[in-house]
Structure 1
Amino acid sequence: MNCFSRLILKFGSIAHSFMKKRWPLWLILIHWLTFLVVVGMFASGLWMVDLTYYSDWYKTAPHWHKSVGLLLFTVTLVRLVSRISTQRPPTFGNKFDNLASKLGHRAIYLVLLALFTSGYLISTADGRAIDVFNWFAVPGFGEFIENQEDLAGEVHFYLAWTLIVLTSLHGLAALKHHFIDKDDTLKQMLRLR
């Protein structure tokens, strides 16, 4: 084996062990982007319900909300696939912390997927497609159940609040790891480790 081949193998093993110790940067960026979008979507959703027909934002705000929601759905699917295919870095904390982390993450993903589904059911109850920033359209299949738009809207509302509570608990758990346990959990997601 020549010197160049050994150098490549050595670099590969260093890179592989490095990847095991931390999340890839692009996954960390998606994590924080998702957080910002979820908070923004929650705030805009609360604001939109009070818009009147005569407001300048009456049609624009829902269009943006739906468009961003569908793009976040796509990013979430990519994130789920990558979480399954990417080796998880070492975790910190005791067995209870690790179990709570797994259950919390699964709950967040489940609520996100249910939130996307309910939003889709609201928007397509009348059979119209959803235009995503006028780039492309996601087809609508109409009403599956009676009063679909209202029922899905109520579910969407409670799921949004549930997601905010879960993400708040997630953030508090990260702060607990940082300030009380004094481990590298938060640093790992801030790429400071």
Structure 2
Amino acid sequence: MPATRPVQWNLTIRSLHWLSALAVIGLFSSGWWMTGLGYYDPWYHQAPWWHKSFGITLLAVTALRVGTRLVTAAPPTQGALLERRAAHAGHFLLYALLVSVMVTGYLISTAEGKGIDVFGWVTVPALLTPFKDQATIAGSIHWYCAWALVILAAGHALFAIKHHVIDKHDTLRRMVGINHNDTTSH
């Protein structure tokens, strides 16, 4: 890691952050929508294929994001000690929930021993031997973790806005890519 800490996140980190945010919103929305589809609905088979393809893509993006984050210096965290600790705990929980949702999605999709076709480009194999009621158990965990992820992500967004508007911290500007010294951005 560089000796000096940057004042904002680099373009790679920012891009992966916002791409992940869009994917989580889209996957949650499509997952919720899919639960209401009837068997004879034209999207009954097609929607899960898209959902799984984007889910596996998000898994790859998340792995890239974590790897990039491990070798990238972070801007200093702002706020009081308790706020900084809460921020670190919240980020850890966001990643844990994100991974939990994707792993349980994988377990749902591979419960019958078949791999996951990703956009027709590659098939992710079913690596685990299916266990009793795998799809049902993983489905329940997937649903609750997805809700927890979206609720925590909403809180994450609200805190970023609070830090920007009330605390006048650079937290949001650093993730958007606006220089903290740019007075035209206030």
- Offset, 1:133: 0.5
CA contact 1:118–1:155 (8 Å) conserved in 2? yes
Alpha-carbon offset, residue 39 of structure 1: 0.5
Pick from 31, 37, 41: which aligns with 1:51? 37
CA contact (8 A) 2:114 2:125 kept: yes
In structure 2, the residue corresponding to 1:131 is in which secondary structure? Answer: strand
Structure 2: how far apart are the matches of 1:22 and 1:184? 8
Q: Which residue of 1 aligns with 2:24?
A: 38
Q: For residue 155 of structure 1, give the secondary structure of its aligned residue in structure 2.
A: helix
Match of 2:138 in 1: 152
CA–CA distance in structure 2, aligned partners of residues 177 and 54 of structure 1: 48
Is 1:98 matched up with 2:84? yes
> What are the residue-to-residue correspondences of 1:158-177 with 2, within 5 Å?
158-177=144-163
Partner of 2:48: 62
Q: Based on CA coordinates, which of the two structures has the bigger radius of gyration?
A: 1
Does 1 or 2 have the higher relative contact order (CA < 8 Å, sep 6+)? 2
Deviation at 1:141, TM superposition (A): 3.7
Name 1:25's counterpart in structure 2. Answer: 11
The runs of 5 or more residues in structure 1 that have no matched partner are: 1-12
Local SS of the residue matching 1:137: strand
Compute the displacement of 1:163 (Å).
Answer: 0.2
Normalised TM-score (structure 2): 0.91
Following TM superposition, by how much is the alpha carbon of 1:92 offset from its aligned partner in structure 2, in angstroms? 1.3
RMSD: 1.5
Equivalent residue number for residue 187 of structure 1: 173
Please give the secondary structure, in 2, of the residue aligned with 1:59: helix
Q: How does 1:134-145 map to 2 (within 5 A)?
A: 134-141=120-127, 143-145=129-131
How many angstroms does 1:152 deviate by? 0.5
Task: State the match for 2:74 in structure 1.
Answer: 88
**Distance (whole Å) between structure 2 residues aligned to residue 175 and residue 142 of structure 1:** 42
| Paired-residue identity, % | 43
Unpaired segments ≥5 residues, structure 2: 180-186
d(CA) in 2 for partners of 1:20 and 1:182? Answer: 19
Count of residue correspondences? 178
Of Structure 1 and Structure 2, the greater helix share is in 1
- 8 Å CA contact 1:92, 1:185 repeated in 2: yes
**How many Å separate the matches in 1 of 2:127 and 2:12?**
34
Deviations 1:11-57 (A, max 9, x none): xx9xx85x722211121011011111100100000000111111110
Partner of 1:116: 102
Structure-1-length-normalised TM-score: 0.88
CA distance, structure 1, for counterparts of residue 81 and residue 167 of structure 2: 14
Q: Per-residue deviation at 1:142?
A: 5.7
CA shift, 1:116, in A, is 0.8
Instruction: Return the letter of the residue paired with 1:63.
Output: W
Structure 1 contact 124–143 (Cα < 8 Å) conserved = no
